Structure 1
Amino acid sequence: MRSTINPFTPRLARPLDLRRLATPEYALTLILALSSAGQWNSAWAAEETAADSVTSQDASQKDSEAAKANADTQLQKVTVTARRRAEDAQDVPTPITTLSSNTLETQRIYKVQDLQQVLPSVNVAFIHARQSSVAVRGIGNNPASDGLEGSAGIYLDNVYLGRPGMAVFDMLDIEQIELLRGPQGTLFGKNTTAGVLNISTKKPTFSPERTVEVSGGENGYFQGKGTVSGALTETLAGRLSAYRTRDDGYTKNIYNGDDLNGGERQGVRGQLLFQPNDDFNLRWINDYNEEDSTQGTMVVYGQSDQYRQRAALVGASPVNDPDRNEVNINGRQNVSVHQGGSSVEANWNLNGGFTLTSVSAYRYWHFTPANDETLNVSAINNTGVEVHDRQFSQEFRLASPTGGFFDYVVGAYVFNSNLGNKTFTDYGPEADRFILPAAQNSFNSLDGVSTKANGKVVTDSYALFGQGTFHLTDRLDFTAGLRGTYEEKQAKVERFAPEGGETPIGPGATIRQRQLGAYDSGDLSLHNASPSGLLSLSYKFSDDVLGYASLSHGEKSGGVNLAVASAPTAGADSLLVGPERANDAELGFKSTLLDRRLQLNANVFWTGIHGYQATTLYQPAGSTTLVQVLANAGSVRSRGVEFEATALVTRGLTVNVNGSYNDVTYLSFEDAPCPGEVATAPGAPATCDLTGERVVGASKWIGNLNSEYKWQLGNGFEPYVNASYSYRSEAEGTLDNSDLSKIDGYGLVNLSTGVRADVGDGQLDASLWLKNATDKEYYLSAFAYINGAYTASVGQPRTAGVTLRYDF
């Protein structure tokens, strides 16, 4: 073997500083270095196998030509791991929607809040990283619930993300996204009641892969991405990906002229794949992401009479038209997020055809906000919740061989999370007059006061699970699954005595103590033993048509409200939330028709949720301020129809359409918070009854259409156009179903056109794109505010840009 000195080797030998690596200059240098190293290793490998090169190249060329011919005339199979095995998605008897890396690229989908533009039955409520949630079939709208896991689970490379905010980063180097709907738990590590969003990144490759991509657009948008992958030795491959994204923002602050809801995000992911033989492989993944932005800026969306009166009283002039996408605030808006993690997945092929899998992972998440409220006067100068979260998980799975009468997967799962939050509010000199009733607004109760509170919850979860399939005939399968979960939560909430401000006058001291006084919950604890189960029957009517029916039960353990909230008046036990239980029934079919030119899938579902966990509102006795409280919001029913069709209409033209009709209703919610227009009226009731009303955040109709046409010109030259349309009907904006917070239905149009061409040793892809082409005004979520007002998170306006990508 020839000895060659690689000038980049000394630099690669240094320990990697992930924070430094996340800067674009250092990451680009390292990617270029690894690219050079990959070329050298490729040359070394080619030299070792020179004797067989001609034969292998001929075979590879024939395989490539055959694959390309099939791709032009047939839809390709999609492999999923929904049942913890690699299977054709059309053979799995459960509703699944997949998004390939190509779909994400062509539609410019790189943020979690954009996923609802391409997936059925999905609602993403987004304000910023902490106040975000993913709901499936209307279940899971729980933003900012630090002491509660989501009803819909999010997985990154087989690792459960304990906080939805852990998925708020640019989705870099993604292989595939799978959406599984309905309770999951008999195969996935963490038990969830609504569904699973399974994100898989691309693995290291032993053949060289290198990609550089640069995008620019309106509002100062810039994104740079780079990936390099290849063999480091005969048995070790590596992959390194990095990105940096920035934009100026699209919400104008007329107080000082600043643009808000923009900022910078950057991150890096490094991987090693060790594969000494066909019976063992180990994949080690490390990633780091950070954000410094003004996300979380919300416009005044709906106003009660009381809000208008109080704003006028303090001389404020808020922007009263949400369609202007402007705010008038005199404080600082900032969000800082630092997160990362490390995971090791090992797979052994054992004697007898068994496969043993181990997934070990550690992740951390640190969120720090600085938020003004809606006014250009100093009523609330700064408020927010800082969160530190660390989690560890370990999963073992054993998969039996397939091909016999019975096959199965069994496993064990351990999860530990240690989360702490710090709630802070700095009141300004106009706090009393804006927040308190007229009879109390001159007592110096809140003016100039600062208050802080700490919350902490430690979660330990243990589970055993298994799922087996009986192949009763060549066409009829019966599947049964069972999971047992035991979970403990140890928590504590403490609020410190307020500081600052003048000495309260008269009853002002009582008001200050009641609303901001010191409080210690003492040690709180929850213990839950939760079963989950699945029964499924599937039948292949032909090789291309699969029908299925299933019954499943899922349970999610209880949670803790990590804010003082109701505790001083209602007691510490009011901070505890009971478990959420779901019963689900599915009936559907999957078909591949017209010589694999059409895939048509559809299903109906019915889900009953008992003890639905939600972020509700609570008004402590004697207080005029609403506080967020976790609670069991009674019973919920979700039922509907989902469908998905993909057609290769003609050579080069592919059309995909998916959608859902989803009726999500409270069957029982008698002690719900009252809407702002009711709660602020004279003689308002303490609670309202939402029984029979729609569940917050759930659009009844969702439809997504995407089409791509590629001209087949040959000679490595391929022009293309892409068009997509996403529609969702109106939804309730907040848990109280206020008329002031309803989110109108909207449709978004995204367009792109470009050309792919063979250039040098690689392929160049140059494209022009237009997001939200009709400049539709839309909102991602709404939020209940002080004095019966509501704010809303604004969706991205029309943005045009250009992208250059080079794969070599």
Structure 2
Amino acid sequence: MLTLTLALGGLVSAEPLLADEQAKTAAEGEVALEKVTVTARRREEDAQDVPTPITTLSGATLEQQKIYKVQDLQQVLPSVNVAFIHPRQSSIAVRGIGNNPASDGLEGSAGVYLDNVYLGRPGMAVFDLLDIEQLELLRGPQGTLFGKNTTAGVLNISTRKPTFTNERSLEVSGGEDGYFQGKGTVSGGLTDTLAGRLSAYRSRDDGYIKNTFNGDELNGGEREGARGQLLFEPNEDFNLRLIGDYNEENSSMGTMVVYGAPDRYWQRAALVGASPHRDPDDKKVNINSRQNVSVHQNGTSAEANWKLNGGFTLTSISAYRYWHFTPANDETLDVSALNNTGVEVHDRQFSQEIRLASPTGGAFDYVLGAYFFNQNLGNRTFTDYGPKADLFLTGANTGIFNNTYSKANGKVETDSFALFSQGTWHLTDKLDFTVGVRGTYEEKEAKVERFDPVGGAALSGGLLAARRAQLGAYDTGDLSLHNAAPSGLLSLSYKFTDQVLGYASLSHGEKSGGVNLAVASAPTLGADSLLVGPERANDAELGFKSTLLNNRLQLNANVFWTGIHGYQATTLATPAGSALPVSLLANAGSVRSRGLEFEATALVARGLTLNFNGSYNDVKYLSFKNAPCPSEVSTVTPSATCDLTGEDVVGASKWIGNLYGEYAWQLNNGIKPYIDAGYSYRSAAEGTLDNSDLAKIDGYGLVNLAAGVRTDVGQGQLDASVWVKNATDTDYYLSAFAYINGAYTASVGQPRTAGVSLRYDF
């Protein structure tokens, strides 16, 4: 017999019950959804009792759905967009807020945490989701309990802890396009007070974008990693969890197709004798240079918990992480215009959090703490110009760029200090009032330096002056940002019945300013133009959570309104007098996000569970004057500016819906067949900040199917399945990117992929 473990607002997975639980369930004849425990308020609570919008996915659900990449999470979460090109150019947006995929000097609007440790770069989360216990998505500003301020939400990833009972699992998957993944876990007690856990994976695939220049398959590669843990529990009043992990990637990710382009791009391509592919749905490129991404990262953390006299709990979390990203990118052509370009990044971070949680059960309980975060990031922006660079970039063979090599270094060090607290008054048995406050002070010290170009023809006069203007040495000197930011929360929740909770909240969140770690506009507008101010969010929520029909149905819904002031965004623009587009980071006026979110999970019959979650997000610029113009305008009038006030925000689909169902047969011979089906839909969205018609991403729906059987073998359980992702082979795109000569490139979603998986738990 199987029971179904609910992943609130996400999906469900079938897990075997213990023998005594099976007997009890059979005797009572009951079928019910189990409760999900979350730590959204830094305590273990039933998710249905937490008065805030949360969607939870269990690790078993991720494994059942073959969700092992962060970019696939948008297929199962409401109000989420993952803009993904490669690990550096990736971002998670919640409710349309946070589409900033490639600014090294800017934190994300949506924060990502791994085992309670904030990840300073979104790319730190771009690894195979290995041995996951649970994912929690919190929507809206977070800061009064989480370490780092965020204005859009938090994705909290928890891995499975070491166990004192033996656990072992092995899984192997194979499929089309050379896909292979192997992973395994072993856990158990080392002594009476010390337990260990070790997990490892390796995955590879050939890719699904054809390079017609040499026949290679691109957008594939290899990833591997491991996580080791120790859990020390000498008594019930103290535990210490030590975690160390390592991940690396060597791939051709970041290969992008030409998605849309004005006449200038095609004219310049023809001028240099290039033949780029025009139809992005063909999934083909024609490039003559290397396409490669190399990523190495590791991290360690130590979490200690003490139970003190009086029922208090003291928690300390210390963590260090390192991330190194190295790219090699072609410029979309099969001739030598730009041979190699990209941004290499080194990032080191240290964080320390201390929390004190009061006992519960009285009229008032609270959590308070302190947080420190230090990040030291350096990048190297480089471009290797080929012999046809001038013709492609300027339309004339002037010799300014041909056969030169340009390099710039940027660095930023961030120190963040915060005090936070959140308390709840239980005014009656049904009515709770929660107040949260936080004070944050941050300092950023930065510098950007571009060096004189190497190589190229000997120039003089006006041509030499033009080269110096485009590529010449430049030093910003020391740049600094200082910011003191308050955050707050007011929340009322009321238990109408034991099964229905209503809530309303007001919150304010801020995240610090940023620095554009590229020369960009500095030579013409001054070094201070590289600085961007903080982003501030005000949010209102009204919602309910309900558990009905004897725990066989859960319905949750909420409406929200969020106003963002000083919305931080990055784009590419071509300054007056420049042949090259530059990265610009700016406060793009104000943004409003409002909408409705809905989640339902129903245990329709024994073995049959259906889940649906969805959202309507209306996300617009309330004020965005002097915005960059789309290439349809900028390639004709380079100095033009546009007004995007009232227009949709980049990457924000209005409609998102995710439907999933699983049926597991209840047979008496120990064989347990099952089928799974999922459908994910998102409506059209603006692809780039300038809202170009050439970059708009069409809406799409994806179908994922699986069927398998579980059976007892030896001392464990074997799970064999066949599956197909994107069963209808739908063409879709994860993000778009403004590029040279007004072109827009796009990151292609994975085509139809079928495969098989074998898993053995023992």
Shorter-chain TM-score category? over 0.9
So what's the TM-score if we normalise by structure 1? 0.91
2:129 alignment counterpart: 171
2:493 alignment counterpart: 538
User: Following the alignment from structure 1 to structure 2, what is the Cα–Cα distance between the partners of residues 246 and 796?
Assistant: 14
SS at match of 1:442: coil
Q: Establish whether residue 315 from structure 1 lines up as the match of residue 269 from structure 2.
A: no
Superposed displacement of residue 200, structure 1: 0.3
Structure 2 counterparts to residues 144-159 of structure 1, below 5 A: 144-159=102-117
Q: Establish whether residue 252 from structure 1 lines up as the match of residue 210 from structure 2.
A: yes
User: Following the alignment from structure 2 to structure 1, what is the Cα–Cα distance between the partners of residues 236 and 27?
Assistant: 30
SS at match of 1:255: coil
What is the CA deviation profile of residues 638-663 of structure 1, one whole-angstrom value per residue up to 9, with x for unaligned ones?
Answer: 00000000000011000110000000
Q: Is the 8 A contact 2:292 2:327 kept in 1?
A: yes
Superposed displacement of residue 685, structure 1: 4.5
2:568 alignment counterpart: 613
Which residue identity lines up with residue 726 of structure 2 in the other structure? N
1:796 alignment counterpart: 750
1:327 alignment counterpart: 285
Superposed displacement of residue 510, structure 1: 1.7
What is the CA deviation profile of residues 763-782 of structure 1, one whole-angstrom value per residue up to 9, with x for unaligned ones?
Answer: 00000000000000000000
Q: Establish whether residue 632 from structure 1 lines up as the match of residue 597 from structure 2.
A: no
SS at match of 1:699: coil
User: Following the alignment from structure 2 to structure 1, what is the Cα–Cα distance between the partners of residues 477 and 695?
Assistant: 37
User: Following the alignment from structure 2 to structure 1, what is the Cα–Cα distance between the partners of residues 646 and 87?
Assistant: 32
2:701 alignment counterpart: 747
SS at match of 1:310: helix
So what's the TM-score if we normalise by structure 2? 0.97
Q: Is the 8 A contact 1:74 1:596 kept in 2?
A: yes
User: Following the alignment from structure 1 to structure 2, what is the Cα–Cα distance between the partners of residues 65 and 686?
Assistant: 73
SS at match of 2:510: strand
Superposed displacement of residue 211, structure 1: 0.1
User: Following the alignment from structure 2 to structure 1, what is the Cα–Cα distance between the partners of residues 470 and 23?
Assistant: 72
In the alignment, which of 764, 783, 803 is matched to residue 737 of structure 2? 783
In the alignment, which of 711, 723, 726 is matched to residue 757 of structure 1? 711
In the alignment, which of 363, 366, 376 is matched to residue 408 of structure 1? 366
User: Following the alignment from structure 1 to structure 2, what is the Cα–Cα distance between the partners of residues 509 and 387?
Assistant: 31
1:20 alignment counterpart: none
Structure 1 segments, 4+ long, off by >4 Å, are 67-72
Q: Is the 8 A contact 2:306 2:313 kept in 1?
A: yes
Q: Is the 8 A contact 2:726 2:752 kept in 1?
A: yes
Structure 2 counterparts to residues 45-60 of structure 1, below 5 A: none
Query: Residues 67 and 433 (structure 1 numbering): CA distance in 2 closer, same or farther, change over 3 Å?
Result: farther
The worse-fitting range, judged by mean Cα deviation, of 115-124 and 503-512 is 503-512
Q: Establish whether residue 565 from structure 1 lines up as the match of residue 523 from structure 2.
A: no
Which residue identity lines up with residue 498 of structure 1 in the other structure? P
Q: How big is the alpha-carbon RMSD for the aligned residues of Structure 1 and Structure 2?
A: 1.2
Superposed displacement of residue 70, structure 1: 8.2
Superposed displacement of residue 63, structure 1: 4.1
What is the CA deviation profile of residues 590-641 of structure 1, one whole-angstrom value per residue up to 9, with x for unaligned ones?
Answer: 0000000000000000000000001123323310221111110000000000
Structure 2 counterparts to residues 366-405 of structure 1, below 5 A: 366-405=324-363
Q: Is the 8 A contact 2:574 2:638 kept in 1?
A: no
SS at match of 1:677: helix
SS at match of 1:803: strand
Which residue identity lines up with residue 174 of structure 1 in the other structure? I
2:11 alignment counterpart: none
Which residue identity lines up with residue 486 of structure 1 in the other structure? Y
Q: Establish whether residue 582 from structure 1 lines up as the match of residue 537 from structure 2.
A: yes
What is the CA deviation profile of residues 493-528 of structure 1, one whole-angstrom value per residue up to 9, with x for unaligned ones?
Answer: 000000101113652212211110100000000000
1:161 alignment counterpart: 119
Aligned length: 746
Q: Is the 8 A contact 1:420 1:455 kept in 2?
A: yes
Query: Residues 574 and 317 (structure 1 numbering): CA distance in 2 closer, same or farther, change over 3 Å?
Result: same
Looking at secondary structure, tell me which structure has more helix per residue: 1
Query: Residues 70 and 220 (structure 1 numbering): CA distance in 2 closer, same or farther, change over 3 Å?
Result: farther
2:728 alignment counterpart: 774
1:121 alignment counterpart: 79
What is the CA deviation profile of residues 319-363 of structure 1, one whole-angstrom value per residue up to 9, with x for unaligned ones?
Answer: 011010000000000000000100000000110000000000000
Q: Establish whether residue 704 from structure 1 lines up as the match of residue 658 from structure 2.
A: yes
In the alignment, which of 177, 182, 185 is matched to residue 224 of structure 1? 182
Superposed displacement of residue 181, structure 1: 0.1
User: Following the alignment from structure 2 to structure 1, what is the Cα–Cα distance between the partners of residues 551 and 129?
Assistant: 30
Superposed displacement of residue 715, structure 1: 3.6
State the identity %: 79
User: Following the alignment from structure 1 to structure 2, what is the Cα–Cα distance between the partners of residues 478 and 192?
Assistant: 23
Q: Is the 8 A contact 1:215 1:224 kept in 2?
A: yes
User: Following the alignment from structure 1 to structure 2, what is the Cα–Cα distance between the partners of residues 584 and 65?
Assistant: 48
In the alignment, which of 80, 83, 97 is matched to residue 139 of structure 1? 97
Structure 2 counterparts to residues 678-693 of structure 1, below 5 A: 678-681=633-636, 683-693=637-647
User: Following the alignment from structure 1 to structure 2, what is the Cα–Cα distance between the partners of residues 689 and 262?
Assistant: 39
User: Following the alignment from structure 1 to structure 2, what is the Cα–Cα distance between the partners of residues 659 and 598?
Assistant: 17
1:10 alignment counterpart: none
User: Following the alignment from structure 2 to structure 1, what is the Cα–Cα distance between the partners of residues 64 and 740?
Assistant: 42
What is the CA deviation profile of residues 455-503 of structure 1, one whole-angstrom value per residue up to 9, with x for unaligned ones?
Answer: 0000000000000000000000000000000000000000000010111
2:310 alignment counterpart: 352
Q: Is the 8 A contact 1:72 1:652 kept in 2?
A: no
1:9 alignment counterpart: none
In the alignment, which of 280, 290, 294 is matched to residue 238 of structure 2? 280
User: Following the alignment from structure 2 to structure 1, what is the Cα–Cα distance between the partners of residues 343 and 211?
Assistant: 23
Structure 2 counterparts to residues 76-115 of structure 1, below 5 A: 76-115=34-73
SS at match of 1:116: helix
